[in-house]
């Protein structure tokens, strides 16, 4: 069956406040803000928008505020060709908002206002759009909703990509295991993968035996590691001038999936993903400097 959608991203769309501070203050202290700007964000929307810019046919399931379709962000999605028919619009609520603070060490702390995203808990699984997708990507969002979507996708023999991201702490051990058992690919940065292993009291081999055939661990400036039954692949990060690391992980996932879904090898997919994310971190904002497929492919070939 030919699917109309290459990749369905499920999870947050958000307005991002990107804030730079010299260092994080202790409790009951303050710190100066050296820069603050507002950008388009949200992990699922980042994946859908970057993926669309790379040539994928993407769709998005996010819970957004009642006025979202009047915003520049919605127009941006429409211009990119992201299928927004399955957005959950919640009248009287605000679109989720993220406050992402980055210090001089490039460490981050985030605060997230859920707003309309609270509606995920009461929402039905978007079964029709899942059935019409080649793959789904579960990003930050409501754990129970993500689990129900993973069940639907697995029952339809659809590839499930899972990245709990900074919402990992919202998953209890059982729910985390349940979603991972349905996942084909598990993404996480090195902190998150370690936390998952600790929570499930297992190692990488045991984690793969639970469900995901592929585990992708991103390690910032140290590149990425991909684990499968055949091998461990290590990919160097492409060295560029880092302006803002926010969104690097989401763009990596979009880049990886864009090649993997087109039949490329794990190594090729990871190298391309690294190239895509290298563009994002050269500018502030998760979607400000999205590369085209040709731009990312050229940089990948130049570096590797």
Active site residues: 250
109: β partners: 101
By DSSP bridging, strand 14-20 and strand 133-138 are unpaired
Q: CA dist 179 to 23, 121, 152, 171, 235, Å?
A: 35, 16, 11, 10, 27
214: β partners: 185
- DSSP reduced 3-state for 55: coil
Closest alpha carbon to 101 in 41, 24, 206: 24
Closest alpha carbon to 100 in 242, 245, 218: 245
Read off φ and ψ for residue 158, nearest 5 degrees: -105, 140
Closest alpha carbon to 133 in 259, 4, 263, 260: 4
Closest alpha carbon to 278 in 221, 238, 235: 238
Give Dmax over CA atoms of the chain in angstroms: 59
Angle between helices 43-53 and 72-80 (to 10 degrees): 40
């Amino acid at each position: 069956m030919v699917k109309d959608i290459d990749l369905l991203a499920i999870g947050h769309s958000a307005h991002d406040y990107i804030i730079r501070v010299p260092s994080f203050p202790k409790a009951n202290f303050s710190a100066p803000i050296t820069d603050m700007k507002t950008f388009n964000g949200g992990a699922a929307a980042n994946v859908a928008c970057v993926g669309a810019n790379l040539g994928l046919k993407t769709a998005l399931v996010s819970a957004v505020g009642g006025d979202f379709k009047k915003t520049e962000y919605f127009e941006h999605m429409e211009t990119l060709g992201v299928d927004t028919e399955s957005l959950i619009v919640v009248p009287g609520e605000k679109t989720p908002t993220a406050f992402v603070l980055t210090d001089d060490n490039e460490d981050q702390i985030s605060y997230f206002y859920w707003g309309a995203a609270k509606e995920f808990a009461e929402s039905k699984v978007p079964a029709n759009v899942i059935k019409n997708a080649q793959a789904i990507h579960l990003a930050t969002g409501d754990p129970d909703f993500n689990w129900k979507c993973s069940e639907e996708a697995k029952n339809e023999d659809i590839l499930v990509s899972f990245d709990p991201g900074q919402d990992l702490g919202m998953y209890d051990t059982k729910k985390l295991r349940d979603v991972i058992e349905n996942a084909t690919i598990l993404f996480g940065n090195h902190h998150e993968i370690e936390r998952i292993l600790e929570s499930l009291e297992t190692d990488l081999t045991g984690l793969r035996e639970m469900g995901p055939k592929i585990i992708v661990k991103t390690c910032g400036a140290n590149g990425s590691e991909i684990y499968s039954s055949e091998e461990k692949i290590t990919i160097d990060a492409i060295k560029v001038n880092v302006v803002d690391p926010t969104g690097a992980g989401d763009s990596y996932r979009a880049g990886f999936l864009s090649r993997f879904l087109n039949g490329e090898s794990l190594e090729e997919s990871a190298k391309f993903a690294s190239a895509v994310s290298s563009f994002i971190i050269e500018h502030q904002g998760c979607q400000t400097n999205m590369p085209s497929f040709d731009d990312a492919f050229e940089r990948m070939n130049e570096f590797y």
